[in-house]
Amino acid sequence: MGFFSRFLIPNPSPVIYSSMVAIGVTVLLIIFGLTHFKKWFYLWSGWLTTVDHKRIGIMYLISALLMLFRGGVDAVMMRAQLAVPDNKLLDSQHYNEIFSTHGVVMILFMAMPYIMALMNFVVPLQIGARDVAFPRLNAISFWLFFMGAMLFNISFVIGGSPDAGWSSYFPLAGNEFSPHVGTNYYMIGIQIAGIGTLMTGINFLTTILKMRAPGMTLMKMPMFTWSALVTSIIIIFAFPVLTVALIMGTMDRLFATKFFTMTDGGMDMLWANLFWVWGHPEVYILILPAFGLFSEIIPTFSRRNLYGYRSMVASMVFISIYSFFVWTHHFFTMGQAAYVNSIFSITTMVIAIPTGIKIFNWLFTMWKGRIRFTVPMLYSIGFIPLFTIGGVTGVMLAMSAADYQYHNTMFLVAHFHNVIIPGVVFAVLGAGTYYWPKMFGFMLNERIGKWAFWFLTIGFCLAFFPMYITGLDGQARRIYTYSESSGFGPLNMISFIGAALMAISFVLIVYTIYYSIRHAPRDVVGDDPWDARSLEWATHNPVPEYNFAIIPQVNSRETFWDAKYKGHELFKGDYEKIHMPNNSGGPFIMSCIFFVFGFALVFSIWFLAIIGLIGIFVCMAHRSFEIDHGHYISVEEIKATEAKFGGVNKWK
Amino acid sequence: MKIKWVLLAILSTTIVNVLSGCESLAVLDPKGPQAQTQANVIWLSIAIMAVIVIVVCAILVFVLTKYRDSKLPKDYEPPYIEGNHVVETIIVGVPILIVIFFSVVSVISNNKVEATPEGYKGQDPLVIYASSSDWKWHFSYPENDIETVNYLYIPTNRPLEFKLYSFGPITSFWIPQLGGQKYAMSNMVTTLHLAADESGEMMGRNANFSGKGFAENTFHVEAISQDKFDEWVKEVKETAKPITEVRFNELLKPGHEGQLTFTGTHLDFSPAPEGENAGHHHGSSDSNANSKGEHMKHDHKSSNSKEKSGHNHE
């Protein structure tokens, strides 16, 4: 291929061309808006260079919502294509690209940053810290994730999207069968984002272990912090596997190595194994923080303490270890012996036990409680039965002999959406509403929020339950069309209607945000709008830069509740000057260079790649010699801020 | 109260309808012993899992109706409850018992589907090599010395041993009504044990995504009695042309084909990647490395001949 022809899309369609125009117009509008309203400096100094965990959390949140839109459009297009037999809306190649990017975008660039958003925003507040352990590393994590995601997303207008599925199995993903650059984007985009995630894991492990407020022993940590701790450990063990696998894949594609090829001793099964050795723990990286979020929301709106705290912690630790011993269940059909399948079948089913314990603990938390049906609570209540259905179908899939029939069918697709949507998506949407006042100082509209919840839940059931049936009837996943005689038509139409309802729910969620920004009353929320129980609610809404004017004293698992109702003294002593980290443009600049480096690798533009690599090392070297002791916030400044919020000592 | 009963009646009739409708779903309408085993496991697990879902939903509905804010007296303050050993023993113990039960079922059924089907033991199996290329299936019958593309005739009441491998991406050989699927890969041969109890037509397909032509990567399966099968073999031998290396290499090129029939099998000139022809060996040694090298050369030769054949046509 010629130098320039590589940048063209291999299978252009009017949809893609119009998206190109739309993207171009949006970029121009943003540039014009920033210039017109003179917001460039604000953007740079307030956001691009920030090391504040709260602002980084909000940036993760915005990215996640954008990616939810992108992945959601993919999903609706897929369901529209399959709604009727022999549909001509999309051709095979386009459909393959869409389901590949849908998977990657939803898992890695939507669910992950959504979880990271909440971890970033909430964890330091929950443990009474002023920031994470390594604030600048945190900024690097975010920007690497962001640049990785952007690199992956531009594939759709420059050079073509990956089309080998989100699991990108070799040899299909190799040069022989995927000659265009799509899979390069996959390998390098995910690599860059993955490095960011790995750093987040290290950062939060350190933060949670070293920066808890006085009195907060491990067994007094709020459940979400526990889940973040366990997740960080899984990240640290799982992500290096992905890093190595992606390097091997990149080498195969760019430098003609033979790790996963069909000839010369390459082994395609190795990729599948490495991918799922990371891929299965990844599922728990998503779901454990979601469990943590439900464990915050359910007690608050049941007005009760979390039932079975110890068993909750124990089951989470158990799951985290076990998540590394089940990967083979993703390919029971690869031809290993019956005893191998038996072992992995049993280990997989065993995971159902701690998960079941958690379900019952949430039920018993509501028991004898005082349940309020707010939007976050609706998501948590919807989660329980739907996730249980997803969980038990997981046990069905774990029976390897039967899995030979479920594997690669819509049954499997129904199952994992049935755990990820009610599990992760409900959690982040519920927690997004729950923590919204903490982030922005006003509430999201409850009425529209409830409509969104019902559209999402009903849409979800309509979209995914029929897939269990079509799967058992032999509808393979990833087929772009099917014949009328197969009889899949009516149920796929129901799925499409469900997907449309879910799309409406997304519109409603965005509208809730818009409506609330315009109309929600300000300054009436107070610091504790939900009558919550844990430490993050002991500071103001929105949270001041330094989080807590005085570091809180922790006495129990529900310190804040004790401070409100049992006379615990949360804030002892007087104001002192607060040491805070300085903003830095370093992370953003370095990540931009990463982007250029990645882009150069995707298209094998070697001189640019070498310059990029040098640039990255220069940034690291610069950081090594930089002297930066941070800055102090003076007592006067703290007093002024606190006075504005009505003072720190009100819980005394 | 009446509305509740009406709703319950509607719900139960729907469930009964859906369940009876399931009988006609491919996977739950088995035509062979392996698919029967799998269907039994599926029904058993659906039954037990349904009980779990119902229990969870019942507790949830009970809690939500009894402890909702609007129904409670104004001065009700929820108690602080740390946990309860009896309750925790139950919620750990019962799932453990279920998992133990399922583990036993899983191990037994695994060994069943990975062996000659029950009731067929001791019989001489019909070995069929099923290899995939983009986006076709090639079926070689070494015993009968014939080969078909995209359709499969099998004798009933005889164990079948499918030897699976691929000339391209990983594919998955699946005939839902006969039994579950298994991967076909480029550098090893996997074995799938099946058998057909009754004659009839069935759908077979590649279930694992393999690129552009994946959706149409299906094949037609017909189970017929041994007598009819022998007749069919005889007829093929009389009417079909022999498969040549040139013709076979043409077939391997990406694209779709109709149903084709040949005498002879491609295994004669392009052996399956098993034994000494395997792409890789566990516990490698020098001799393995040699055979690997030969395999490589062989590939090279066949690609050359592909080019040559192109010229010949001109």
Q: Which residue in the block uniquely carries the two structure tokens 């265009």? A: A180
Interface residue B51 vs chain A (CB under 8 A): no
Q: List the single residue in A with minimal CA-CA distance to B85.
A: A308
Distance of alpha carbon A166 from alpha carbon A71, whole angstroms: 12
pLDDT > 70: percent of chain A: 98
Chain B stretch 140-159, residues whose beta carbon is closer than 8 A to a beta carbon of chain A: none
Same domain, A70 and A28: no
| Confidence (pLDDT) at B296 | 40
Interface residue A610 vs chain B (CB under 8 A): no
Q: Is A591 among the domain residues?
A: no
Look up residue A597 and give its two tokens: 């480096």
Interface residue B221 vs chain A (CB under 8 A): no
Q: Is A105 among the domain residues?
A: yes
Distance of alpha carbon A208 from alpha carbon A286, whole angstroms: 18
Interface residue A398 vs chain B (CB under 8 A): yes
Same domain, A59 and A82: yes
Q: List the single residue in A with minimal CA-CA distance to B179.
A: A405
Same domain, A99 and A241: yes
Same domain, A32 and A134: no
Same domain, A20 and A140: no
Q: Is A633 among the domain residues?
A: yes
Same domain, A498 and A552: yes
List of chain A residues whose C-beta atoms are within 8 Å of the C-beta of residue B63 = 363, 366-367, 369, 371
Give SS3 for B202.
strand
pTM summary value: 0.92
| Confidence (pLDDT) at B303 | 39
Query: Looking at residues A361-367, what average pLDDT do you find?
Result: 95
Look up residue A602 and give its two tokens: 């995707």
Closest residue to A385, CB basis, from B57, B103, B180: B57
The CATH number assigned to the domain holding A252 equals 1.20.210.10
Distance of alpha carbon A193 from alpha carbon A183, whole angstroms: 15
Contact at CB, A352 and B59, closer than 8 angstroms? no
Query: Looking at residues A49-76, what average pLDDT do you find?
Result: 95
User: How many structural domains compose chain A?
Assistant: 2
Interface residue B107 vs chain A (CB under 8 A): yes
Residue-wise pLDDT for B107-143, tens only, equals 999 999 999 998 898 899 999 999 999 999 999 999 9
What letters, b where the CB count within 10 A reaches 16 and e where it falls short, cover B248-266?
Answer: bbebbeeeeeeebbbbbbb
Checking if the pLDDT of B291 tops 80, the result is: no
Distance of alpha carbon A132 from alpha carbon A457, whole angstroms: 35
Question: Counting one residue from A and one from B, how many pairs have CB atoms under 8 Å apart?
Answer: 276
Query: Looking at residues A517-522, what average pLDDT do you find?
Result: 89
Same domain, A114 and A27: no
Q: Is A650 among the domain residues?
A: no
Could you tell me the pLDDT band of residue A363, with boundaries at 50, 70 and 90? Answer: very high
Q: Is A617 among the domain residues?
A: no
**Which of A273, A405, A406 is the mutation pick for testing B, counting most B CBs within 10 A?**
A405
Same domain, A19 and A114: no
Q: Is A251 among the domain residues?
A: yes
Q: List the single residue in B with minimal CA-CA distance to A487.
A: B25
Q: Which domain holds residue A15?
A: 9-38
Q: Which amino acid is at A43?
A: L
Same domain, A379 and A502: yes
Q: Is A409 among the domain residues?
A: yes
Q: Is A613 among the domain residues?
A: no
The residue count of chain B comes to 314
For residue B60, the tally of other CB atoms under 10 A from its CB is: 18
ipTM over 0.85? The verdict is yes
Chain B stretch 53-82, residues whose beta carbon is closer than 8 A to a beta carbon of chain A: 53, 56-57, 59-60, 63-64, 67-69, 72, 76-82
Residue-wise pLDDT for B81-99, tens only, equals 888 888 889 989 999 999 9
Distance from the B176 Cα atom to the nearest Cα atom in chain A, whole angstroms: 6
Contact at CB, B60 and A349, closer than 8 angstroms? no
Distance from the A80 Cα atom to the nearest Cα atom in chain B, whole angstroms: 16
The 8 Å CB, 24+ separation contacts for B304-310 are: B305/B245, B305/B246, B305/B249, B306/B249, B306/B250, B306/B252, B308/B246, B309/B246, B309/B249, B309/B250
Q: List the single residue in A with minimal CA-CA distance to B74.
A: A370
Same domain, A213 and A303: yes
Residue-wise pLDDT for A565-596, tens only, equals 888 888 888 889 999 999 999 999 999 999 99
Same domain, A34 and A88: no
Contact at CB, B106 and A408, closer than 8 angstroms? no
Side-chain-facing half-sphere of A574: CA atoms under 13 Å: 3
Chain A stretch 476-515, residues whose beta carbon is closer than 8 A to a beta carbon of chain B: 476-482
Query: Looking at residues A372-399, what average pLDDT do you find?
Result: 96
Contact at CB, B27 and A405, closer than 8 angstroms? yes
Same domain, A309 and A360: yes
